[in-house]
Amino acid sequence: MTLQEFYDNNGSLSSMMATIPSEDAIRRLLGMLLTDHTLEDLKGAVEAGDVALAFRAAHTLKGTLMNLQITRVQKKASDITEALRNASSTKEAALLLPILEEDYRDMILDLQELLGGSAS
């Protein structure tokens, strides 16, 4: 998979290149997602009913994805962030979480394909 194909599936390469005009640097930044645990933190906080922790994790995930211009998944993280912003429980976030998880998993699979290959 090429970097363009990754972004065609997941976001905006042109927006990312406007910020970081190096494909190698973008690949290095994207590679950090493979070891990021924010989604797991979000899941754990939602399962524990910890609204404040869940909000922080969702907001962090949203920001990370926004900075990397991975807009497809970022929108799902944003939906959860907003569901938690003034919430008294994690019920709505729990309903939205499987949608985020599926898109995130698909993005990670694309990312693994991108980083496993040498094409740009």
Q: Quick one: pLDDT at residue 96?
A: 98
Q: Which tens digits make up the pLDDT trace of 47-93?
A: 999 999 999 999 999 999 999 999 999 999 999 999 999 999 999 99
pLDDT at 117: 56
In this prediction, residues 6-11 reach a mean pLDDT of 98
Residue 120: pLDDT over 60: no
In the prediction, which pLDDT does 23 show?
97
CB-based contacts of 104, cutoff 8 Å, min separation 6: 39, 73, 76
pLDDT average, residue stretch 104-114: 98
User: How far apart are alpha carbons 84 and 46 in whole angstroms?
Assistant: 10
* 119 pLDDT more than 50: no
pLDDT at residue 115 is higher than 50: yes
Position 4 pLDDT exceeds 90:
yes
What CATH number has the domain bearing residue 36? 1.20.120
Q: What is the count of structural domains for the chain? A: 1
CA distances from 111 to 24, 106, 118 (A): 14, 9, 12
Q: Where in the sequence is the domain holding 60, given as residue range(s)?
A: 3-116
- What per-residue confidence (pLDDT) applies to 7? 98
Q: Is the pLDDT of residue 118 over 60?
A: no
With beta carbons less than 8 A apart as the criterion, state whether 84 and 90 touch.
Answer: yes
